[in-house]
Chain A
Amino acid sequence: MFHRAPSSTRVIAVIAVAIAVPATPGRAGVLNPDISVIGQPFLGLTNDNFAPNHDRPQLDVGETEFVFDAALNPYAHGTFILTLSREGFELEEGFFALLRGLPLDLALKGGQYRVGFGRLNPTHPHALPFAERFDVLAAYLPGEEALTETGISLSRRVAVHGDFSLQLVGDWLQGDSFRIERSPSLDPNDPITLGGDDAAGETRSAFAARLSGFSMLGERSGIDFGVSATGGTNNVAAGSQTLVFGADAKAKLWASSNAYLLLQAEALFLDREDAAWDPVSGYTTLHVTPAGGYVFADYGWATRYNVGASYEGFQRPTTNQEWDQSVGAFVGYSLLEETTAFRFDWRRTLPDAGQDFDRFTLRVIFSMGPHKAHQF
C-alpha cells in the first residue's frame, strides 16, 4: 500500500537530496546553485486585546527562508525561495529572469514572484531595517502578507540624462491572489448557500505596472520615486474588481562613508468592489475607496547600527473607513551586516475606534550562505 507523502515532507526530501548529492568534482559551485538559509525568530509582546497572546510574551520561530539562486546560462538567472513556517513549506518565489539578449534591452521575468508594486512589497522582510512590516500593505494589496503572483514581467530601464534613469515594468498576472472569499448571505438562493463558490475555480488575468525614476544625489546618495498600479478580479461570478494605486519615494543620503539617512514613504489608494448577494437583484457590489500610507526615517552608522522612527495611517477597507494610525521607533544591531542582526520595534497603534495598544517585537535575523549585494 502506497500513499503520497504530505507536500511539506516531499519538499524537505527534495531539499535534502539537493544538498546531500555530491557535485561532480571540479564542477561544484559551477553548476550548483547558491544556497542561503535565513532564520527570523522573534519575541513579541502586545497589549492589544484582540490578539490571542495579549499581555503574554510570544516566542515564535517566524518564517525561515531557503533561497536557491543560480545563473541558468549566459542570458538567464533562476531563483527559488521556499519559506518554512508553522503552516509548513510554501513556495514563495520561483522564477527565471531573462536578463540580456532581448530586443530593446528588455528584461523578462516569469514564474511566481513578489510583484514589484511600490517599494516594500517586493522586499523580503529580512532586508527591512525594522522588525514588522506596515499594516497598510496587507490591508490593501491582494494576498495574505504580500502581493505574490504567478505571471510574466517585462521591464526596461531607460537612461534619460546623466545619471537619471527611468524604469518601466509591466506584469501580466494569473490573478489568483486577487480572489476574495465571499461570506454567504441569509438568502437560501445565494449561490454560496447552494454549494457554489462564485466560480472560484475560474481565473481572470490581472495586471501590475510600475514607472520609477532614479537619480544620484552627489557621489553616492540617491533618490528613487515611482508610481504603481495593480488590478484584477476578486470575484469572478460577480465580476467585481480590485484596483490599487501607489506612489512612493526613497532617498538614501550618505553623511559619511559609514553613515546614512534613509527616508522612505509610500501612499496607497484602494478602489475595490466587494461582491455581495441580493435576493432581488442577485450579485451586487459594495464600493470601498480607502487611502493610506507610511513614512519612516532610518539612520545607520558604523555598518552595524541603525535607529529610526515611523508613522503609518490608513483607512480600513470597509464601508465605514475608520482611520487607523500608528507611530513607532526601531533600533537595529548587526554583528556583521545581516549574517546576524537584531531588530527591535516598538509600535503604538491608535485605532479610530477602540483602545490604543502597543506592540514590541525583537527579531533575530541570521543568514547562512552567500551574502548578496544590497540593491538600492
Chain B
Amino acid sequence: MRARIISILVAACLGAFGAPTAAKERIVASISDLASIAAAVGGDQVEVAAIARSNADPHRVEVLPSYMVRVSRARLYLKVGLGLDAWADPIIDGSHNSELLVVDCSKGVAILEKPTGKVDASMGDVHPDGNPHYWLDPRNGAIIARNVAMALARVDPPNASLYASRADAVARRCDATFARGSAAVGALATRDLVTYHRSWSYFAAAFDLQVVATIEPIPGIPPTARHLNDLIGVIQERKVRAALEEPYFSEDAGELLARQTGIRILRIPAMCADITADSYFTHFEQLFDGLASAGGS
C-alpha cells in the first residue's frame, strides 16, 4: 500500500513539473555576429547574449555592472580579440566567474593589415595585432563557428557531435553566402569603394572590392577639410559609386561627399542586427543589396 502511494506521488510530481530538461549553456559574446553564429551552432542547447549593440561603436563600450552580471551566469565568453574588445577584460574580471571559458574567436583566421615595424598612437587607432573586423568575410564565419563548436564541446561533451555538425552547416551557409556575394559584386559597374573606417577590409578582400580611400585620414581620427577635399578628387577620378559608413559616425562628412560627387553613402552597421541564428547571414544580404543599389549592376 505504501509503495503504491509513493509511486502515485512520484507520478503526480512528474506530471506537475514535466520531464527534467537539460539546462542551457549560457554564452555571452562581445558582438552580435559572434552571438548569432553561436546561436546557429548551439541551437536549443544554448542561450546567447551580446554586449555591444549592433549600431554602436564596438571599439568603445562602457563597462556596465549589468554586463558583469550577465557574464557571471555564463559558461562561455566569445571575444573578437585582436584588441577590438579590450573592454571585455574588465567585464570578465568583474564577473568573478571562475567557471567561464573565454574563447578568442580570431583563432585560425588569416589576419589582415597586421602592422610591421613600430606601432604608436601617431598612427591613430591602429590595432597592433592586425585588423579585428574579420567576421565581415563570410568564410571567416565558418572558422568562428568551428571555434564555437570546439568550445561548446568542452563545456558540454555529450552534445559535441551535434555542435560539430551544426558548425559544418554554418560553414556550408557561409560558403553559399560567399558565392552569392561574389556573384553580386561581379555584377557591379565598379569594384572601387570608399569606407569611413577600416572596418570593411575583410569584406572588401573577400569579394575583391577595392577600398580606394577612407573618410578617416587615419583610423579613429575624424576627417579634416583638406582630407575631404582630397577625397572628393579621388572619388571623382575613380568614379566611385558607394561608401560604407557605420551609423555611429558623424553623417556630415558623408553628406558633403554625396553632395559634391554623387557618391551613395550606405549607412550600414559593421555588425549584424541581432543575435538570432540567421542574423549573421541577413547582414551580408543587406550589404550585397546596398552595393547593388549604389553600384548599378
Contacts and interface: CB of A to CB of B under 8 A. Distances in A.
Interface of A: 75, 77, 97, 99-102, 105-107, 157, 159, 163, 165, 167, 214-216, 219-220, 222, 224, 252, 257-258, 302-303, 336-337, 339, 368, 370, 372-376
B65 A214 contact: yes
Given A100-B97, A222-B66, A375-B62, A157 B72 contact: yes
B189 interface: no
Interface string B81-110: 000001101100111111000000000000
Given A99-B96, A157-B72, A159-B72, A214 B90 contact: no
B55 to A, nearest CB: 6
B69 A375 contact: no
Contacts of A370: 86
Given A100-B97, A157-B94, A336-B220, 11 more contacts: A99-B96, A100-B98, A105-B97, A106-B96, A157-B65, A336-B125, A373-B60, A373-B62, A373-B63, A375-B90, A376-B63
A34 B60 CA distance: 19
20 contacts: A99-B94, A100-B93, A157-B68, A157-B94, A214-B64, A214-B66, A215-B66, A219-B53, A220-B53, A220-B56, A222-B66, A257-B56, A257-B248, A339-B121, A370-B86, A372-B86, A373-B89, A374-B62, A374-B63, A376-B65
B212 interface: no
A195 B182 CA distance: 88
Interface residues of B, number: 33
B61 interface: yes
Interface in B239-285: 247-248, 250
> What 3 A-B pairs have minimum CB-CB distances, sorted nearest first?
A373-B87, A214-B65, A163-B66
B13 interface: no
A358 B97 CA distance: 49
A376 B64 contact: yes
Given A220-B56, A373-B86, A105 B96 contact: yes
B72 A257 contact: no
A212 to B, nearest CB: 9
A370 B220 CA distance: 15
B73 interface: yes
B96 A216 contact: no
Contacts of B63: 373-376
